[in-house]
Structure 1
């Protein structure tokens, strides 16, 4: 009886050891509403205490728009406004970087998928290597105003020229601008959202439509506009610098 009980306890211990890391990874990978709400409350409290200042890290002016204001958790923790950094954050080994959008007004907390940045950094290196050797970037076809596909024959990366969409998990093409900055073509996600929401007209940049419906920002994205039922791409007004910035 004692032997059987020991075997059962050992089996349960092994089962717990197997399940716990899996649950931990799941929590680490998924940006959930509870953690977002907690960080939003902390940012709002800090902003109120500091007369409108936000707990953000300094970034260059060339940093892409939606990752330009990453949250600095240090002052939030020093002032006991938040107890710990979210478990799914990039700082804790997770996939997400917490950022602030619309800092002048709503200062809304969102997340950026760090895996997108890591893939783009690899593509960016190959593009700049080719340009340094040949005097020009590996342009493919024109697909928008200042936006081009990448000639796959001249760029060799381990992960290819696609990234997993942070919205749908489908493959999205990596493209580039006139300045050879690499971006993600989010049009498939936008078209899907337009269809799901029965949207026929939209004023302004469609990237903000994604922001309205998801907690994840469209990092490294071209501007997108709806014209005659088609989503058209336009080079962003501020360049990206994938090789120098972290999410």
Structure 2
């Protein structure tokens, strides 16, 4: 009897620990029906823009590109039966966005769990700035961006799991104003290796990440190709 209780307790601990790790590392990569929902929203957007040149967007929610193009499902009534089950509006963990607001807008998603982590850390950076009258800059990363000095914040170092390759963890960086971003250069380097043709120096390299994925590189600064390496460029 005691052995059964011990085994049951051990299994419960393993389940709890496993659950925490999976949540922290975002190993539940996508909901089962997320690809279908992205395609459904894409179809609705395609029909919507046939009748109006103005995209169905909410107000911008932040400084990075993809925070400026959040889809407003209220404006898609008549084109979409309901908001996607995986969307924030339905209690899901994804925000549906327009990745490319050009002639044929592309629908993609951002993971709200990333937003939560960045938002919590941004509060600490803002408090540090108000208290110390300076920003917690680490080393220079180019383009007016810096690594984040977690020690100054009295915070544990934090890396963001990549939505593209589960084994890659992405550093958090900040600009001269103290706004937090995520460094996707390691992912872009891999994408560049798979490109048959070298991108022009003016091409926004973030497109290499989302063009064959459901996910946009949330909180990424603009990157361009300089030499053989991606470099940050303020927008």
Where does residue 46 of structure 1 map in the other structure?
48
Where does residue 230 of structure 1 map in the other structure?
229
Give the C-alpha shift of residue 55 in structure 1: 1.8
Contact 1:112–1:216 at 8 Å: present in 2 too? yes
Report the RMSD for the aligned CA atoms in angstroms: 2.3
Aligned equivalents of 2:74, 2:135: Cα separation in 1: 40
Contact 1:110–1:216 at 8 Å: present in 2 too? yes
Can you list the C-alpha shifts for 1:162-189, whole angstroms capped at 9, x where unaligned? 2111111321000101111100000111
Give the C-alpha shift of residue 199 in structure 1: 5.5
Runs of 4+ in 1 over 4 A off after TM superposition: 198-202
Q: Which secondary structure state, in structure 2, belongs to the residue aligned with residue 149 of structure 1?
A: strand
Aligned equivalents of 2:146, 2:215: Cα separation in 1: 25
Give the C-alpha shift of residue 29 in structure 1: 3.2
Contact 1:46–1:53 at 8 Å: present in 2 too? no
2:161 is matched with which residue: 164, 181, 188? 164
Larger Rg: 1
Contact 1:31–1:111 at 8 Å: present in 2 too? no
In structure 1, the gaps of 5 or more residues are 1-25, 238-247
Contact 2:99–2:107 at 8 Å: present in 1 too? yes
TM-score (norm 2): 0.78
Aligned equivalents of 2:212, 2:185: Cα separation in 1: 15
TM-score (norm 1): 0.74
In structure 2, the gaps of 5 or more residues are 1-27
How many pairs does the alignment contain?
206
Contact 1:124–1:182 at 8 Å: present in 2 too? yes
Can you list the C-alpha shifts for 1:184-241, whole angstroms capped at 9, x where unaligned? 000111112222345555432211222323231112112222222122223x32xxxx
Can you list the C-alpha shifts for 1:65-120, whole angstroms capped at 9, x where unaligned? 1221211112323x2x2112112212222221111133342222111122221111
Q: What aligned pairs does 1:1-247 form with structure 2 within 5 A after superposition?
A: 29=31, 32-49=34-51, 51-59=52-60, 63-77=63-77, 79=78, 81-157=79-155, 160-169=157-166, 170-197=168-195, 200-203=198-201, 204-234=203-233, 236-237=234-235
Specify which structure has the bigger relative contact order, considering alpha-carbon pairs within 8 angstroms and separated by 6 or more residues: 1
Change (3 A) 1:212 1:99: same
